Structure 1
Amino acid sequence: MNVTLAVKQYVSKMIETSGSGMKVLLMDRETTSVVSVVYSQSEILQKEVYLFERIESQNREPMKHLKALCFLRPTKENVELLVQELRKPKYSVYFIFFSNVISKSEIKALAEADEQEVVAEVQEFYGDFIAVNPHLFSLNLVGVSRGRSWEPLMLQRCTQGLTAVLLSLKKCPMIRYQLSSDLSKRLAENVKQIITKEYELFDFRKTEVPPLLLILDRSDDAITPLLNQWTYQAMVHELLGLNNNRIDLSRVPGVSKDLKEVVLCADNDEFYANNLYLNFGEIGTNIKNLMEDFQKKRPKGQQKLESISDMKAFVETYPQFKKMSGTVSKHVTVVGELSRLVSERVLMEVSEVEQELACQSDHGNAAQMVRRMVQNPRVSELDAVRLVALYALRYERHTSSILPALKGELERRGTSDHLKQMVSRVVEFGGKRVRGSDLITATDAVAITKQFFKGLKGVENVYTQHQPLLQDTLDQLIKGRLKDATFPYLGPSSLRDRPQDIIVFIIGGATYEEALSVYNLNRSCPGVRIVLGGSHVHNTKSFLEEVMSATGQSSERSQGGSRHSNRR
């Protein structure tokens, strides 16, 4: 199961279907993201796609020498835009691919608009999600619920995205959901309804052990998204923000013009692919090795090109050198900025306190450490607030006046009202009242603290003690110990054998720490294949926005989720 490969194959098939000749790729805002995370522009150019346009763009020039590949979500708006396009076609022929199921009435509307008979093909290719990593997908939605209820348009969009993942992976699963979450049950029922209605689409070859879809709720583990991360991909997202594989470095002091926005994609960046899940200590060593390798390979300053063979050798090696030069510059800049932020915001010390809160049970020591960090002027406002929020979650029912005192410290350092509200909002979102599980167990903490931080030469790893709740849930599932009473099946059937293909979806968003757990489980459990998805992939900032929306405060939708529409 590989969601990146599934989307890449859809895009390749679209291009192959249209045959040879120059092409324009016509997309909407969301399908642009879907394509851009799996294919670079240079890769698509090699497939005779020379122009990229948005369907809603009003100033597109007619280019009758081009074939149009339309890859669009089957929304009412997109169908209306296509109808207008077909009435006055700008291109010679149209190959139309919808990223999800389209209704017969909408197909009829397109057929009636195609008076000049320019449409050669209409198909459904189910790339209706963002393939972040081979085992991780996102719908790029923030603010999916209000209180303990779905935002209706978000429920529709999550249903569509999740069924598209199942169709792209060719899985017709049994479904389990988190009983303590009404959101999970509603989504499970909606997905089941689509599978029943579109039964012909889900008529895949039966496997000995049926695939399993497990639907969870973010509120069951509000601790994981609040923790600082120490693996490369997760650190980049937490400290710099990773949006569809792109990082905005424009605010980095002294950054060169060509590095103000960079792309990190494991498919065409070997260094990134090899360091994705390594910790910060190892990345520093590998950057040094990359630099040394680059120094050895770069052409000498006074290189003489005296013969045809000299020139030929230079021309052959130059593209590889130029590519390596770009890779070195990019990663040195990114790692350098991560290092600057870690030092400036004393994140090693902050992270140590976070891990103490998440994994240990020494209340007196934890309270002192949090107070000391909140009083430290080098600790950022955001880091101070999340430490207090973690304390409030961890010691929610502790009968002391420490929490009000910590909130007073936030007040004294001039913390904004918006952020101060987060402490109580986080408890409202993921406190004991709403959780279906106990997040912290002393026995786990004892076992976990025996780990070592590989990159720090034997120093005990206090920075990565925490294991997300998802890891334990999946471990129990794989061993056949996940209780039906807590995670019931939808319908009368249940799985008797050990599951092999597992798709997990977290309502309210997943994290890169959870993606790392899934990556490690896939490597350590032969015969088990797990794919993780979420309504979003969170860093702390996006998670707090999710919390504000879920606890009733209006917040701006980060991806314009309120404008999504449904075909039905």
Structure 2
Amino acid sequence: MSMDSDSSSSFPFGGADQRSFRQITRDRLLFEMLRSTRKSSKSTWKVLIMDKFTVKVMSFSCKMADITEEGVSLFAYSCPTCQEKPPLYKKAYVFFSSPVQRELVAHIKKDSTVLTRIGALSEMNLEYFAIDSQGFITDNDKALEELFSESAEGSHKYNACLNMMATRIATVFASMREFPRVHYRVARTIDASTLTTLRDLVPTKLAASVWNCLSRYKSTIPEFPQTETCELLIVDRSIDQIAPIIHEWVYDAMCHDLLCMDGNKYVQEVPSKNGSANERKEVLLEDHDPVWLELRHAHIADVRLMYGCMKR
């Protein structure tokens, strides 16, 4: 792990693997998780049970058709108990999105009534949202408040937020089978009389936590690299104080600013064909839409010109 002052680095995705970031995530969910159950199960159809977080993880990378093609006939969001008599499900294939406590695994192994119904027990290490082909988020909209506000000093939320972000960032590299060399911006004081605050130490603490997670992967994930394969740069907003007050004028940013979107979903009201009340229509602005791919990173003025050409 390295300590940097002001530096920049590119972020290579997947080494020699030329799949997009979202495609890597999709393949892990569909093939590494869902399709793996076919090896030990004679059932054609399965029930997929997820919590709210993993529902969002999957929805960012997979379509409903992708999931049903893997033999999923029913979705549920609450977990059935293994104590049902007779059991409602013959086998349970359990996949954890993050590392699971060893004590819990030991407890499951000791319970013979549960163990006989477990078809698989595996850690996916997949806790991020692939928002496009080359980007992801850790989904913590309170991170700015919990890490940089005045009340963050001495708050238990500070460490909890850092640990959660570090775990989710590390799962990105678990999915890509990459072991990064971690660079981070060191806290620098103006003079010896200025105290270093927890806010100044965010990059340092986050880098240390990410590194600890990655180091554990070396012994827990099959075929995980044992030496560094790429670069990870961790900095805070202080290196670029202008960007937060500059409004983005690209089409993607304008859509999210003006359309009150829910993630990548935009709901609009359109006149009904029979002349009655307006109908609600959902539009997904995603990579499968060729128009969205062409326009998303263009300046809004250029989009108007291109849109005018397409209409003509």
Q: TM-score range by the shorter chain?
A: 0.7 to 0.9
Change (3 A) 1:189 1:120: same
Quote the offset at 1:90 in angstroms. 3.4
CA distance in 2, matches of 1:143, 1:253: 38
1:438-453 equivalence runs, <5 A: none
Which residue does 2:93 correspond to in 1?
A: 95
Please give the secondary structure, in 1, of the residue aligned with 2:121.
strand
Give the letter for the 1:101 counterpart: P
Which residue does 1:153 correspond to in 2?
A: 160
Gaps of 5+ in 1: 56-80, 293-568
Change (3 A) 1:196 1:11: closer
CA distance in 2, matches of 1:290, 1:160: 45
CA distance in 1, matches of 2:81, 2:108: 10
How many residue pairs were aligned? 261
Give the letter for the 2:89 counterpart: Y
Which residue does 1:85 correspond to in 2?
A: 81
- Higher mean alpha-carbon deviation, 229-238 vs 84-93, is at 84-93
Please give the secondary structure, in 1, of the residue aligned with 2:99.
coil
Pick from 201, 204, 214 the counterpart of residue 233 of structure 2.
Answer: 214
Please give the secondary structure, in 2, of the residue aligned with 1:21.
coil
Give the letter for the 1:264 counterpart: L
Percent identity, aligned pairs only, is 21
Which residue does 1:121 correspond to in 2?
A: 120
Pick from 198, 209, 213 the counterpart of residue 190 of structure 1.
Answer: 209
Structure holding more helix per residue: 1
Which residue does 1:263 correspond to in 2?
A: 284
State whether residues 34 and 131 of structure 1, in contact with CA within 8 Å, keep that contact through their aligned partners in structure 2: yes
Quote the offset at 1:172 in angstroms. 1.4
1:355-383 deviation per Cα after TM superposition (whole angstroms, max 9, x unaligned): xxxxxxxxxxxxxxxxxxxxxxxxxxxxx
State whether residues 37 and 244 of structure 1, in contact with CA within 8 Å, keep that contact through their aligned partners in structure 2: no
State whether residues 174 and 210 of structure 1, in contact with CA within 8 Å, keep that contact through their aligned partners in structure 2: yes
Which residue does 1:245 correspond to in 2?
A: 264
Quote the offset at 1:107 in angstroms. 1.5
CA distance in 1, matches of 2:109, 2:225: 33
1:362-511 equivalence runs, <5 A: none
Higher relative contact order (CA 8 A, sep 6+): 1
State whether residues 228 and 238 of structure 1, in contact with CA within 8 Å, keep that contact through their aligned partners in structure 2: no
Answering whether residue 24 of structure 2 is matched by residue 3 of structure 1, we say no
CA distance in 2, matches of 1:201, 1:287: 51
State whether residues 218 and 224 of structure 2, in contact with CA within 8 Å, keep that contact through their aligned partners in structure 1: no
Pick from 7, 11, 24 the counterpart of residue 47 of structure 2.
Answer: 24
TM-score of the two chains, using structure 1 as the length reference: 0.42
Quote the offset at 1:210 in angstroms. 3.5
Please give the secondary structure, in 1, of the residue aligned with 2:141.
coil
Please give the secondary structure, in 2, of the residue aligned with 1:152.
helix
CA distance in 2, matches of 1:253, 1:179: 57
Which residue does 2:301 correspond to in 1?
A: 281
Which residue does 2:249 correspond to in 1?
A: 230
CA distance in 1, matches of 2:299, 2:112: 55
CA distance in 2, matches of 1:201, 1:134: 27
Change (3 A) 1:290 1:34: farther
- Higher mean alpha-carbon deviation, 214-223 vs 124-133, is at 214-223
Quote the offset at 1:112 in angstroms. 4.3
CA distance in 2, matches of 1:15, 1:198: 22
Please give the secondary structure, in 1, of the residue aligned with 2:98.
coil
Which residue does 1:400 correspond to in 2?
A: none
1:17-73 deviation per Cα after TM superposition (whole angstroms, max 9, x unaligned): 122611222111111111001112233223322222213xxxxxxxxxxxxxxxxxx
Which residue does 2:68 correspond to in 1?
A: 45
Change (3 A) 1:287 1:87: farther
Give the letter for the 2:50 counterpart: M
Answering whether residue 128 of structure 2 is matched by residue 109 of structure 1, we say no
Change (3 A) 1:112 1:232: farther
CA distance in 1, matches of 2:52, 2:246: 31
CA distance in 1, matches of 2:172, 2:293: 23
1:149-189 deviation per Cα after TM superposition (whole angstroms, max 9, x unaligned): 56222112111101111111111121111113300101111
Please give the secondary structure, in 2, of the residue aligned with 1:272.
helix
Which residue does 2:142 correspond to in 1?
A: 143
Quote the offset at 1:241 in angstroms. 4.0
Structure holding more strand per residue: 2
Give the letter for the 1:100 counterpart: S
State whether residues 229 and 238 of structure 1, in contact with CA within 8 Å, keep that contact through their aligned partners in structure 2: no
Quote the offset at 1:113 in angstroms. 5.0
Quote the offset at 1:253 in angstroms. 10
Give the letter for the 1:269 counterpart: D
Quote the offset at 1:201 in angstroms. 3.5
State whether residues 174 and 217 of structure 2, in contact with CA within 8 Å, keep that contact through their aligned partners in structure 1: no
Pick from 17, 36, 46 the counterpart of residue 59 of structure 2.
Answer: 36
State whether residues 131 and 137 of structure 1, in contact with CA within 8 Å, keep that contact through their aligned partners in structure 2: yes
State whether residues 129 and 164 of structure 1, in contact with CA within 8 Å, keep that contact through their aligned partners in structure 2: yes
Quote the offset at 1:142 in angstroms. 1.6
State whether residues 23 and 48 of structure 1, in contact with CA within 8 Å, keep that contact through their aligned partners in structure 2: yes
State whether residues 218 and 226 of structure 2, in contact with CA within 8 Å, keep that contact through their aligned partners in structure 1: no
Change (3 A) 1:223 1:113: farther
TM-score of the two chains, using structure 2 as the length reference: 0.73
